[in-house]
Structure 1
Amino acid sequence: MFTGIIEDLGVIQNLENDKDNLHITVRSGFTSELQIDQSVSHNGICLTVVKIDNENYTVTAIKETLDKTNLGNLKIGALVNLERAMKLGDRLDGHIVQGHVDQTAVCKSVEDLDGSWVFTFEYDSSLHNITIEKGSITVNGVSLTVVNSKHNSFSVAIIPYTFENTNFHAIQKGTVVNLEFDVIGKYVKKIMGKNLAL
Structure 2
Amino acid sequence: MFTGIIEETGIVRSVKKGARSAVLTIGASGILKDIKTGDSISVNGICLTVTSFTPTEFTADVMHETMIRSSLSRLPSGSMVNLERAMPANGRFGGHIITGHIDGTGIIRSMERDGNAIWYTIRTTKEILRYIVEKGSIGIDGISLTVARLSENDFSVSVIPHTARQTTLSVKRVGDTVNLENDCVGKYVEKFLGAAAPLNNIFSYSQN
TM over 0.5: yes
Match of 1:49 in 2: 50
**1:172 correspondence with 2:173:** yes
Residues 21-30 or 11-20, more deviating: 11-20
Match of 1:15 in 2: 15
Q: Displacement of 1:130 after TM fit?
A: 2.0
- Aligned-residue CA RMSD in angstroms? 1.7
**1:133 correspondence with 2:143:** no
Which ranges in structure 1 are unaligned for 5 or more consecutive residues? Answer: none
Query: Could you say if the C-alpha distance between residues 18 and 32 of structure 1 is closer, same or farther in structure 2, counting changes exceeding 3 Å?
Result: farther
Identity of aligned residues (%): 37
TM-score scaled by structure 1? 0.94
Q: Secondary structure at the match of 1:148?
A: strand
Q: Equivalents in 1 of 2:82, 2:128: separation in Å?
A: 25
Match of 2:4 in 1: 4
Contact 2:121/2:157 (8 A) holds in 1: yes
Q: Deviations over 1:43-101 (max 9, x none)?
A: 00000000112301101111110000000111111100000000112111000110000
Q: Secondary structure at the match of 1:87?
A: coil
Which ranges in structure 2 are unaligned for 5 or more consecutive residues? Answer: 199-208
Q: Equivalents in 2 of 1:17, 1:89: separation in Å?
A: 37
Q: Equivalents in 2 of 1:10, 1:126: separation in Å?
A: 30
Q: Equivalents in 1 of 2:171, 2:129: separation in Å?
A: 28
Question: Amino acid of the residue matched to residue 25 of structure 1?
Answer: T
Q: Equivalents in 1 of 2:118, 2:166: separation in Å?
A: 14
* Equivalences for residues 20-35 of structure 1 within 5 A: 20-29=20-29, 30-35=31-36
Question: Amino acid of the residue matched to residue 19 of structure 2?
Answer: K
Q: Equivalents in 2 of 1:52, 1:129: separation in Å?
A: 39
Q: Displacement of 1:195 after TM fit?
A: 7.9
Q: Deviations over 1:31-54 (max 9, x none)?
A: 232110000000000000001123
Q: Equivalents in 2 of 1:25, 1:18: separation in Å?
A: 14
Question: Amino acid of the residue matched to residue 4 of structure 1?
Answer: G
Query: Could you say if the C-alpha distance between residues 74 and 133 of structure 1 is closer, same or farther in structure 2, counting changes exceeding 3 Å?
Result: same
TM-score scaled by structure 2? 0.89
Match of 2:202 in 1: none
Q: Displacement of 1:111 after TM fit?
A: 0.4
Q: Equivalents in 2 of 1:138, 1:19: separation in Å?
A: 29
Q: Secondary structure at the match of 1:133?
A: coil
Q: Deviations over 1:95-134 (max 9, x none)?
A: 0110000010011100012311000001111466421110
**1:159 correspondence with 2:155:** no
Match of 2:68 in 1: 67
